[in-house]
Amino acid sequence: MQENEISFFSRRTLLKGGLASAVSASMFTLPNKAFALNLINQGFENGVRELVPYPQKYPLLRITTRPVHLETPFSYFDQSLITPNKAVFVRYHHANHPLNIDENAHILSIKGNVSRPLKLSMEELKKRFNQVSFNVVLQCAGNGRALSSPRVPGAQLGNGSMACFTVTGVRLADVLKAAGVGANAKQIKYRGTDEPALPVTPAFIRSLDIKKALSDDVLIVWAMNGAPLPMLNGFPIRLVVPGYFAPYWMKHLSEIEVINHEFDGWFAKEAYMVPDTVDNGIAPGTETKNKTPLRELKVRSFITNIETGNKIKLKNGELTIRGIAFDSGSGIRTVDFSADGGKNWTPANLGKSIGNYAFRPWSITLRNLKKGSIALMARATANSGETQPIIQPWNPGGYARNVIEVVNITLTS
Amino acid sequence: MRTLFFALLTLLCTSPALAQEIKLPAETVMYPANSNPGYVTALQKCLICHSADYALYQPNLSKEAWNKITEKMRLSFKAPITQEEASQVAAYLFETQHPKK
């Protein structure tokens, strides 16, 4: 392990583990077995998770073992604006996901309502079309689900199932145009090489409206941060739908079918649905009457250098807070900050933008602080005008959390 | 010279194709034993498709909520269990979360 990798995740993450005993940087040279002892308390009931090193990954929170589901410990987001590949979260739907792929043998088929069906090798894909590269946020639809009140069933995630990285690939539109999309095309229906454990279980097949599929920013990518996709993030290629939640970003992409109707498979019609209300919320505990597919990310912001429960010694009555914000692609207009539980708000300083689909850094220095407990809140507003709610609308899937998060800390002198 | 140039260019433009293989860490969480018949079904059937942490990491859920989940497994995901087995698994998981004192 390289020196810079050690410093990346050893700074705070492991030391704050609820049940973990003190861990020193020397731990990282020990065999994997030692990591099994590392536990982090996620801060919700039944929320103690193991920190486990997976192949091509730093130790991540194990949400489920089979299929693999791993969350990024939240303090990693304070280390760098771009999430290293080794820190990016992992989520599969079915247990038979590939663990062994030869890029030379992988084929992407484009079929259905097209005039020239294609079977593209990875070499052809890379050579035949123009390459594009930009920064994007990937976020799980259920990011923050375990913070739902009342709690809901499903993978119990804190807020670490998100990442921001540079993708490199080709435009899906260019590939579809090469295949020649038919006149009545309505959607693409697409899948990867992962399979359910039992053949009778619905496979993870998703769909995207043709207009979106032909838009400029939807990509088929083979690289994250300039390196091949890690196996658990979709090697050798995955679909990237900037501004849309992760279930659209198919891993191990192998087949795209252009269809003239709306796909009605289980993972298109039953999964990742939210109440069709203005804020996608309904009265807690009630049933959804009308549902709609969850697509676009909602605007969010996070404080990254301080966590609830921290005790901080004041220096000259000052405290610098930093964090990140993102939305579905209009870009961040402002981040406002409150140090009194939401009564008064002050604009934070926005850092340099690395793209409208990416994390936007921000910071603020609070002055004339006195010792005692304070509630810190950050509220992002996007260029679209969208802002974060003060109360989280409840939905039965625990999807698309974007409430103004509160960080409660104690200041000491 | 020209040939050499193009040979080099081809070499530079063609990143070597990759084969990746990974090995996953072992499962560590197991369904706790109790006398409920649902325990055996959980071991024999639920573990076909997913590890035990899928169920054991859930928040406290009502009997009805567990029933809804096991019925979803049976009907939507085609778990090879009868309705009776599904309800026994739901009862087992509820009892695991709320042990009788």
**pLDDT beyond 60 at A54:** yes
The percentage of chain A sitting over the pLDDT mark of 90, rounded to a whole number, equals: 90
Model ipTM value? 0.88
**pLDDT beyond 60 at A260:** yes
Q: What is the dihedral of CA A229, A235, A237, A238, to 10 degrees?
A: -80
pLDDT at A23 (0 to 100): 34
CATH class of A300-412: mainly beta
Q: Topology of domain A103-137+161-293, per CATH?
A: Sulfite Oxidase; Chain A, domain 2 (3.90.420)
CATH 3.90.420.10 domain locations along chain A:
103-137+161-293
* CB–CB contacts below 8 A, A to B: 109
Minimal CA separation from A55 to chain B, in Å: 6
Give pLDDT tens digits for A337-348.
Answer: 999 999 999 999
The percentage of chain A sitting over the pLDDT mark of 70, rounded to a whole number, equals: 91
Q: Do A123 and B24 touch (CB under 8 A)?
A: no
Cα–Cα distance measured from residue A61 to residue A71, given in angstroms and rounded to the nearest whole number? 5
Q: What is the DSSP letter of B75?
A: H
State the average pLDDT over residues A155-172.
98
For residue B54, the chain A residues in CB contact (below 8 A) are 64
Residue extents of the structural domains in chain B: 27-97
Mean pLDDT score of chain A: 92
State the average pLDDT over residues B10-18.
57
Cα–Cα distance measured from residue A289 to residue A283, given in angstroms and rounded to the nearest whole number? 11
Spell out a b/e string for A269-280, using b for 16 or more CB atoms within 10 Å of the CB, else e: eebbbbbeeebb
State the average pLDDT over residues A115-121.
98
Q: Do A126 and B15 touch (CB under 8 A)?
A: yes
- Strongest mean pLDDT among A35-39, A41-45, A278-282: A278-282
CATH class of B27-97: mainly alpha
Instruction: Pull the structure tokens for residue B7.
Output: 């040979």
Give pLDDT tens digits for B48-91.
Answer: 999 999 999 999 999 999 999 999 999 999 999 999 999 999 99
For residue A32, the chain B residues in CB contact (below 8 A) are 25
Q: What is the DSSP letter of A354?
A: S
CATH 2.60.40.650 domain locations along chain A:
300-412
Chain A contact for B84 (CB, 8 A cutoff)? no
